[in-house]
Amino acid sequence: MKILVVGSGGREHALCWAIRRSSACSALFCAPGNAGIAAVAACVPVDSLDVPGILAFCREEGIDFVVVGPEAPLVAGLVDRLEEAGIPAMGPSAAAARLEGSKGFMKDFCARHGIPTARYARFTDAAAAKAYVEEAGAPIVVKADGLAAGKGVVLCANVADAIAAIDMIMTDRAFGAAGGEVVIEEFLTGEEASFFALIDGITAVPLGAAQDHKAVGEGDTGPNTGGMGAYSPAPVVTPEIAETVMKTIVRPTVEGMAAEGHPFKGVLFAGLMIGPEGAKLLEFNVRFGDPECQVLMARLKSDIVPLLRAVPAGELDKVAVEWFDAAALVVVMAARGYPGTVVKDTEIRNLAAADAVPEAVVFHAGTRAEGGRVLAVGGRVLGVTARGRDVGEAQTRAYQAVDLIDWPEGFCRRDIGWRAVKA
Residue 22 to residue 39: CA distance in whole angstroms? 16
In a domain, 102, yes or no: no
pLDDT of 150 > 80? The answer is no
DSSP state of 254: H
> pLDDT tens digit string along 390-408?
999 999 999 999 999 999 9
Q: CATH number, domain at 31?
A: 3.40.50.20
Quick one: 284 and 202 in the same domain?
yes
Q: CATH number, domain at 163?
A: 3.30.1490.20
In a domain, 155, yes or no: yes
- Non-local (6+) Cβ contacts of 364 within 8 A are 10, 13, 34, 35, 36, 37, 374, 381, 382, 383
Quick one: 198 and 305 in the same domain?
yes
Quick one: 152 and 173 in the same domain?
yes
Please say whether the dihedral angle defined by the alpha carbons of residues 232, 233, 236 and 237, taken in this order, is positive or negative: positive
In a domain, 101, yes or no: no
In a domain, 13, yes or no: yes
In a domain, 106, yes or no: no
Quick one: 409 and 374 in the same domain?
yes
In a domain, 185, yes or no: no
Helix 304-313 / helix 10-20 crossing angle, nearest 10 deg: 100
Q: CATH number, domain at 293?
A: 3.30.470.20
Quick one: 296 and 363 in the same domain?
no
Helix 10-20 / helix 292-299 crossing angle, nearest 10 deg: 20
Q: CATH number, domain at 407?
A: 3.90.600.10
Residue 162 DSSP SS3:
helix
Asked which of 149, 180, 211 is the last residue of a domain, the reply is 180
> pLDDT tens digit string along 94-107?
999 999 999 999 99
Phi and psi, residue 191, nearest 5°: -120, 130
Quick one: 288 and 207 in the same domain?
yes
Which of 9, 72, 14 has its CA nearest to residue 368?
A: 9
In a domain, 105, yes or no: no
Helix 159-166 / helix 126-136 crossing angle, nearest 10 deg: 170
- pLDDT confidence bin for 419, thresholds 50/70/90: confident
pTM of this structure: 0.95
Phi and psi, residue 405, nearest 5°: -80, 130
In a domain, 80, yes or no: yes
DSSP state of 179: G
pLDDT of 212 > 80? The answer is yes
Domain housing 242: 191-318
DSSP state of 406: B
Quick one: 214 and 267 in the same domain?
yes
Count H helices and E strands in the chain, helices first.
Answer: 15, 23
**Containing H/E element for 113?**
helix 103-113
Q: How many domains in the chain? A: 4
User: Which has more pLDDT, 240 or 226?
Assistant: 240
Quick one: 28 and 83 in the same domain?
yes
Quick one: 43 and 77 in the same domain?
yes
Quick one: 195 and 298 in the same domain?
yes
Asked which of 77, 93, 109 is the last residue of a domain, the reply is 93
- pLDDT confidence bin for 423, thresholds 50/70/90: low
Residue 362 to residue 342: CA distance in whole angstroms? 21
* Alpha-carbon torsion angle 359, 365, 370, 372, nearest 10: 0
What does each C-alpha distance from 362 to 7, 10, 401 come to in angstroms? 17, 9, 8
Quick one: 56 and 163 in the same domain?
no
Quick one: 286 and 359 in the same domain?
no
120-123 sheet: strands from edge to edge: 120-123, 182-186, 140-144, 153-156
Q: Cα 278 vs. chain centroid, distance in angstroms?
A: 23
Which of 284, 257, 271 has its CA nearest to residue 106?
A: 284
> pLDDT tens digit string along 260-286?
999 999 999 999 999 988 999 999 999
Residue 281 to residue 59: CA distance in whole angstroms? 40
